[in-house]
A and B are shown apart, each in its own frame.
Chain A
Amino acid sequence: MNFELNNEQSMAREMFAAFAEKEVKPLAHDIDEEERFPAETVEKMKKYGFFGIPYPKELGGQGCDVLTYIMCVEELSKVCGTTGVIVSAHTSLCADPIYKYGTKEQKEKYLVPLASGKKIGAFGLTEPGAGTDASGQQTKAVLDGDHYVLNGSKIFITNGGVADIYVVFAMTDKSKGVKGISAFIVEKEFPGFSIGKKEKKMGIRGSATTELVFENCIVPKENLLGQEGKGFSVAMTTLDGGRIGIAAQALGIAEGALDETIKYVKERKQFGRSIAAFQNTQFRIADMKTKIDAAQLLVYRAAMLKQAGAKFSTEAAMAKLFAAETAMAVTTECVQLFGGYGYTREYPVERMMRDAKITEIYEGTSEVQRMVISNALLK
């Protein structure tokens, strides 16, 4: 077993960290405050290839590996959870299913622009009545000659409106239940497709989270992703990968909060000495760092299993469950160590605490992760 990054991975990590510090951190407070999508950062990340890290060069990607992509999300999330999820949703939820299930033509047409950063991607599965129970899809797709006609709506879609390409799920045969779900690649400009309400959120407030509306939306037949009726499996496999991305986001948020807190407790003086001199602070810092490292090992293991082409569904669920709960626990502790200042927007830890919460909810709640893990053990 090897716990060392190779030369390429460690240089890439340093580059991501430098980019995050210089380009992402200065905007993190304002985009949260203004609920503004960081378009200028996204342009820079497109230019530097952040949107196609794990894909082959011939498909427009960077030719790196899953772990390098995961470390990118981690480093960005250390300073800004919003920026981390923009990359994660694009890569894991849109580019990945096209890479795995797309035809040669679909890869040429959609993966190449996604991986090279010319286009941004999103994923539409959740509906008002189909969250954790994704099988309750109401959006319908009816084949009509050379195209499908989609009707229905999706909610809580990350990168909604800012994305150019959407992987969308709809019922092609309601009578078959989950076996009647199919996946489609939908372009933003397709007739009948529009962006609905934008959510006002607790955290990751710079990230665009919107409704997708399909009113007799015309999707060419060749945009069916995978086979008809196999959409549920496309969705579940995609979410397995997506969970590693969200786990990395959660991990980064926890690491970022701890970094801020270590700086603060050394400076903050109470009772005539820095609060870092109190054993209460020391033990809390030690516990947080230990949890973070455990989370990191789980996240990296899941990434390496995915890279190796091995089964990683359970490991991804464990990584997301533990990293998300660590992020929530660590950021809460960090706010506590900052005291009153931690509760204000003058310091970033309250933002990090708000950002952390979503990692326990999206791409499968912590409860869903426990279901996935226990199902694998008890079957």
Chain B
Amino acid sequence: MPRSVELEVCELTKRYSQEVSVGPISFEVYEGEFFSLLGPSGCGKTTTLRCIAGFEELSQGSIKLRGERLDRKPPHRRDVGLVFQNYALFPHLTVFDNIAFGLKLRRLAKSEIAERVGRVLQLVDLADMAARFPAQLSGGQQQRVAIARSLVLEPRILMFDEPLSNLDFKLRTQMREDLRNLQRRLGKTSIYVTHDQTEALALSDRIAVLSHGRIEQIGTPSDIYERPATAFVAEFIGSSNMLRARIVEGGDSGMIVVTDAGLRLCCSLPANDEFDASEDVSILLRPERVQVETPRGGTSPGQNRVSARIADVTYLGEDLHLSVDLVSGDRLRASLKNANAARGWAPQQAVEIVIDAADIRLLRR
């Protein structure tokens, strides 16, 4: 089902000085989708957001909202709602007046304002807080007022600037779910900025991973996680084992790679990539895909088996993290669930590591 493009960012560039700049950045956001900008601090995600909102001027590039140039308009005439990191609620106004702020500027009738504010208060479940002041609300409630304040104006896009980072952990998880349900219910196109990959993975339809002012990869959460395009994405999202290796054989069904330490692994061909023989690559292997077994020998097709010794065990309650030294000298991290079979692993124990050929991901170096 073809979706229309709500927002188009084209070659967005913001230059701060000779050395520091963001962009060029290009991406599209489709109607109704939840789109995240994910990256470490300083990667340019907040700058991009502020450019869309109009608080920073572009050095180059363009931003289009449904085909109309947005970057030429002053910030108060753009149809995008922004929920600030510190909520930016007006301390001298009640919850009702905060939410009604934008409506009053549009000179709507009092009755209509009251109706719309009432409706949106119901939506965020704060109907009985209308007369309170922001200082009297909890962090989570303030957050909901901030969202309501932007929502009531029915903007084309709703943007969030790290809205959950000021909340404590439990509240964050709760708010995350509320946010997702709200967005799904309303179908409002949303752009979400965060440095927390769990949030991004849980909330988004698509994610753009940024680093040093550039986009590293855009894709669905599973794209990003399962098939990271660059080493940065691989290391930023989830944890992974990375080994340097070289392709020694290529074929229609798979490839053989040899790590610097001499370990031979066979991996199946990734769908769209083409590597040449003798090319230098990085091997990417997620710790949860590293299977640890007691030694029993024998190989199955499509599997790599390597002897190893456990170097270290870290007990984390739900998970078990193992450090294993392969016979080749490479060290791998394995992450196991604390199920029956995993109990009893101890350092110095001899084990066998099983790696499915399909779980090995190759990246160009």
Q: Do A and B bind each other?
A: no
> What is A's interface to B at a CB cutoff of 8 Å?
none
